[in-house]
Amino acid sequence: MLTVHHLGVSQSERIVWLCEELGIPYELKRYDRDPVTRLAPPEYKALHPLGTAPIITDGEVVLPESGAIIEYIIGRYGDGRLSVGPDAPNYADYLFWFHFANGTMMPRQMRMMGAQPGAEETPMQRFMRERAESTWDLVDQRLGEAPYFAGDELTAADIIMVFVLTTMRAFAQRDLAAYPNIRAYLKRIGARPAYQSAMVKGDPNMTPALS
C-alpha cells in the first residue's frame, strides 16, 4: 500500500494533493512538527536518513524528495496522468516549471526566511531580495499567459509549484497584491475539489494561503 507520510504544514501537502487529483488509493499518516524546534519529530526522521518531508513508503520502497515522489507516483500509479510527454508542444514548459519549483524558486524564498520588510540591508541581502522578487515576477508573467504552468491543463508542474506560492508564505512572507495573475490562479486551484480535500485531510487546522 502506498503510504504518504505527511508532516503538518509542509511540502508533503503536494503529495496528498497529487494522490487526491489522481484518485488513487493511499494511506495518509500525519505527523506534527516538534512544538519547540518546528522540525519533523523523531518518528518522521526515523523513516529515512534525509528526514525531511515529504516521504512515501510503498512496500520496500522508502522515498523522500518531492520531485522524485511525484514522478514515482505518476509513473507507477497514475498511468502518466498529470505529466506531459516529450512529443507534446508544451513539453519544455512542463519540464521548466516542474524543475523551477525546487531548483530555483524554493531556494530563493528560503533565503528570505526571517527577513524583516523595510530593514536596512547589506548588498548581499539586497541581491537576495531582488532575486527572490524576480521569481515572483516571472511566475506572475507566466500565469498571465496560460491558466496553468504547463499550459491549458493542470499538471504535476502545478502540484509542485503551488506550495511555494501558498504555504511557504508562512515561512517567508510575501504580499500577493502586486501579482494579479497569481491571485487569479490560486483562486482556480482553491476551487478544485481534490485540492480542497487534500488540505482538509492533511492540515485540517490550516487555512490554505490562497490570497
Ligand X SMILES: N[C@@H](CCC(=O)N[C@@H](CS)C(=O)NCC(=O)O)C(=O)O
Does 105 help bind ligand X (rule: CB under 6 A)? no
Which of 3, 57, 102, 104 forms a contact with ligand X (CB under 6 A)? Answer: 102
Nearer to ligand X, 34 or 137 (CB): 34
Does 73 help bind ligand X (rule: CB under 6 A)? no
Residue 168 DSSP symbol = G
How near is the Cβ of 190 to ligand X at its closest, in Å? 20
Stretch that binds ligand X, among 17-25, 62-70, 71-79, 183-191 (CB under 6 A): 62-70
Q: Using CB atoms within 10 Å of the CB of residue 87, give its burial: 0 to 12 exposed, 13 to 18 middle, 19+ buried.
A: exposed
Strand ranges across the sheet with 61-64: 27-31, 2-7, 55-58, 61-64
Residue count at the site for ligand X (CB under 6 A)?
13
144: part of which helix (H) or strand (E)?
A: helix 123-145
How near is the Cβ of 58 to ligand X at its closest, in Å? 16
Nearer to ligand X, 26 or 163 (CB): 163
Does 166 help bind ligand X (rule: CB under 6 A)? no
Residue 137 DSSP symbol = H
Does 7 help bind ligand X (rule: CB under 6 A)? yes
CA gap 180, 41 in Å, rounded: 38
- Tell me if the bond preceding 89 is cis, omega within 30° of 0: no
- Which SS3 state, helix, strand or coil, does residue 134 take? helix
Stretch that binds ligand X, among 49-57, 72-80, 190-198, 201-209 (CB under 6 A): 49-57
Does 65 help bind ligand X (rule: CB under 6 A)? yes
Return phi, psi of residue 152, to 5°. -80, -20
Nearer to ligand X, 173 or 181 (CB): 173
- Catalog residues that contact ligand X under the rule CB under 6 A: 7, 10-11, 39-40, 51-54, 64-66, 102
